[in-house]
Every structure is written in structure tokens, then in C-alpha cells.
Chains A and B, each alone.
Chain A
Amino acid sequence: MRAKRFFAIYAAFAYAFLYIPIIVVVVLAFNSGRQVLNWEGFSTKWFGEALRDPTITEPLRNSLVVAVGTAVIACVVGTALALALSRMRPRVRAPVDAIVYMTLVTPEIVFGISALILFVQAGIPLGLNTILVAHAVFNISVVTLIVRARFVGMSADLEEASYDLGVPPLKTFWRVTLPRLSPAIFAGGLLAFTFSFDDFLTSFFVSGAGSPTLPLRIFSSLRFGVSPVINATAVMILALTLAAVIVAYVVLRRSSGQRAGDIPTLPA
């Protein structure tokens, strides 16, 4: 069929459009030359250089701390919300639902400056703690959506039996619900980690002067153009987030047969 061939070729171009920029960064990170654009041979030296540079390793550590903290908070708070939401009366649920989606849809610059104003007015010193608190806002929503998608499809029989035997909700959660929900929570946590680790704009406004995350460090060095060390740093970030996203995807698909389209944050 002609149409099918045409669309297949088109799709190949579209995928190339999506991936060529990423591939170019990866390839150039292995260029031994100091000039980014002139290929002078294969080398991994820029990775070593990046890992020896304290102005990169320090932000890397900051980013990891913030991303892990965000993921933990998002998992606990987001899962609790997902459990509560599904049996709420619609009149209570609708506004909470709306806020969940709002946190994901609001342009980051609007959220970033609002959070900045709040922190400054409340006298909270800017730093890693404020970045973490702000990141948790939209990542709680990420975990909520993913966990709830799994949760509403679950049968209530086991929990009802547990309640009928007089087991309190928290214990029922540990023994009955959590084991079935854990793939979704794990995947949600990984995605929250990724979202936080990659975030630039929110961090940009609420970070203050002293404690940059890795994306902030990369951004500030882009003023002087792209350098091989920055490419190598970018590749390490890409590798980490790629691994997290693929694992999350596989875990979610295996665990529930969810439609693949459910995984990103779609209000549709």
C-alpha cells in the first residue's frame, strides 16, 4: 500500500528528528579534540575530566540529593493521595484533581517565580531545601497519577476481606495493597527522580546563589559556548535518566498491562 510506505518513511524522518540532536551530543562527547565541532578521534578523557572537576561533581551531588529526596517525598505523599482520591465523593475529588493537573500544566516560569516570592517573603533561605520543596509539588502529582492509574483498576476484594477481619487501614495497606501497588510506586518514584534531576527552570529561580544543581551548572557554562566537558556531563545525565525512564516503562507495562500512553503525564 502506497500510503503505508509513505507514512513509514515519514515516521523514520520524524524519529530521526527526535534523536539526531541527542545522538550528536553523545558522539561529540567522545571527541578527543578541544574544539567541539572538529572530530579529532575517539577519547573518553572528557568524562574523566568532568568527574575530576569539583564545579561539576559538587552540582552533581546536589542534584542527586534533591532528586532522591524529591522522589521519596513524592512516593509517600503521592501514593497516599492516590489511595484517598479514588473513593472520594466527586464534589471533593474534582478540585483536588484539578490542582493535580494544574501543577503539571502551569508554565514552569510562573510556578518558579511564585515559589521564589513565597520563600523570600516567608524568610526561608534559598538553597537545596527550597529546590526540593518546589520539585516535590509537581512530582507528587506525577506519582499520584501513575499510582492511581494502577489502583483504580485493582479489585477491592482482598482489602474488603482484610477490613472485615478487623485489620486497620494502615496494616491492610502494608500487607495487602502495597505489594500489588509497588511496581507503580517504584515507577512513579523513578520518573519523579528523573523529573527533578533534569529540572532547570524551577531550580533556576528558587536555588539562590550558593548551591547549583547540575542543569544550572550546564546552563551557566553555555554562556561560553558548548565545551567537550559539558558534552560529557550531558551524556552522563542522559545515561542516568534514560536508564530510569526505560526501567519505569518496563516495570509499568509488566505489572499491569497498562496502555503505554498512560505513562507520561497526560490529563487526557
Chain B
Amino acid sequence: MEIIYLLIPLSIILVGLIIAGFFWAVNSGQFDDLEGPAYRILQDQDELDKRRESDKDGSSS
């Protein structure tokens, strides 16, 4: 069981890295809007694509 003297410090380092990553995410605004992005993926692109398509249609005909 002596291995835990190595593994537990390792896990603590890992937790430290996780927390550092989490802090980075919070500070860089990853958690500012938790709902918007889920909708955004559905909205803008479709409209844009459609408009582009209709533009293309308009120019070809």
C-alpha cells in the first residue's frame, strides 16, 4: 500500500491543474452565458445560409 504515498500527491497535483483550468475558464467568460450558445447554433447560420442561397439563385436566374 506504500504506493498511495505517491499516488495521493499525484492526485493532488491533478486537482490543482483541474482547478487552474476551471479558473481560467471562469475568467475567460466561459460561464457568462450558459443558455445562449445552445440556441445560437440553431439561429444565425441557417438564416445566413438561406440568404446566401437566395442571393445565388437571384444572380443565376
Partners in one complex: no
What residues make up the interface of B, taking CB atoms closer than 8 Å to A?
Answer: none
